[in-house]
Amino acid sequence: MMTNTICRVEYNDYINKNIKKMGISGIEHKREVLPGQFLHIKPGSDYHGLLLRRPISISDVLPSTGIMEIIYLIKGPGTAELSRLKPGDGVDVLGPLGNGLVLDDNVKNLLLIGGGMGVAPLLYAARYYKHLSLNGIFGWRDTGSLIPLGAAKDFMDRVYICTQDGSTGHRGLVTDIFCERVEDIRPDMVFACGPVAMLKEVQRLCTRFGLDSRFSMEERMGCGVGSCMTCACKIERDGNWQYERVCCDGPVFNGQRVVFD
């Protein structure tokens, strides 16, 4: 069940150079929020470019207060406008939206793989699935683009961090560590979010290692609720492919079924 509400910004702080974490209270939701679900946020109302909502993943739901957190990169006009909001300001939020990650009972060992801003939804996955055996492999371009893991680190058995320039953690890509560690970790399922190039490689490796996977996908969005098809992505069904909507059929899809062109 999703609603459109004017909510309250509780905090909106820098956690890295161009990355902020915003805590929002007053988001109504009848069902439990699932990892991978997102908020569709109206950044402003003054001019055309800011009327379109921006989809941002829920990166945490704080158990004591119900505050939902988002972590966002200040990229263009929409996120720049969000970055100007102060504690106490109102923010127009539609959501939680989308189908999040639901695991079968037979999944006991979950591996989270995230790249860049794709790490954000995995932080909530760590809290939500903290009762499982959890490992994380997270990578960024460099220290300046890194997302601090915060409380999520405490929910995971092992966390591997890498940057492409080696400025923090291992030098290299998350998929290098995935290859090195898969035998020790022996996951039942991989949950991944990140750039397409990363997801493509995770998909190839999951096939090679015989692992089941779920990917949280990102596409440009219009309505966010299934009526405009802006967010279509190709999903394999019965040996063929069809377009499905990231906003309401996803954003979480069976990773082995995503068709990358």
| 245 counts as binding ligand FES under rule CB under 6 A | yes
Q: Which residues pair with 225 in a beta bridge?
A: none
Question: Among ligand FES, ligand FAD, none, what binds residue 76 when CB lies within 5 to 8 Å by partner kind?
Answer: ligand FAD
* Closer to ligand FES by Cβ: residue 125 or 231: 231
| 31: amino acid identity, one letter | R
| 247 counts as binding ligand FES under rule CB under 6 A | yes
Asked if 57 and 38 count as a contact pair (C-beta separation under 8 A), the reply is: yes
What is the number of other CB atoms lying within 10 angstroms of the CB of residue 166? 12
* Least distance (Å) between residue 57 CB and ligand FAD: 3
- CA separation for the pair 104, 1 (Å, rounded): 22
Cis peptide before 63 (omega within 30 of 0): no
What is the number of other CB atoms lying within 10 angstroms of the CB of residue 105? 5
x-marked contacts with ligand FES along 84-123 as a string, rule CB under 6 A: ----------------------------------------
x-marked contacts with ligand FES along 21-60 as a string, rule CB under 6 A: ----------------------------------------
Where is 40: in which H helix or E strand?
strand 38-42
Interface with ligand FAD (CB under 6 A), residue from 61, 73, 113, 132: 73
Sign of CA dihedral 201, 207, 209, 214: positive
Query: 228 in helix, strand or coil?
Result: coil
Question: Among ligand FAD, ligand FES, none, what binds residue 224 when CB lies within 5 to 8 Å by partner kind?
Answer: ligand FES
| 220 counts as binding ligand FAD under rule CB under 6 A | yes
- CA separation for the pair 202, 30 (Å, rounded): 34
Question: Among ligand FES, ligand FAD, none, what binds residue 223 when CB lies within 5 to 8 Å by partner kind?
Answer: ligand FES
| 54 counts as binding ligand FAD under rule CB under 6 A | yes
- CA separation for the pair 218, 198 (Å, rounded): 13
| 233 counts as binding ligand FES under rule CB under 6 A | no
| 194 counts as binding ligand FAD under rule CB under 6 A | no
Interface with ligand FES (CB under 6 A), residue from 36, 43, 187, 224: 224
Chain centroid to CA 27: how far? 18
- CA separation for the pair 194, 8 (Å, rounded): 29
| 227 counts as binding ligand FES under rule CB under 6 A | yes
Q: Which residues pair with 112 in a beta bridge?
A: 136, 191
Sort 220 into a burial class: Cβ within 10 Å, 0-12 / 13-18 / 19+.
exposed
| 226 counts as binding ligand FES under rule CB under 6 A | yes
Interface with ligand FAD (CB under 6 A), residue from 23, 35, 78, 115: 78
- Binding residues (CB under 6 A) for ligand FES: these are 221-224, 226-231, 245, 247
Which positions lie near ligand FAD, rule CB under 6 A? 38, 52, 54-57, 70-73, 75-79, 117, 120, 218-221, 251
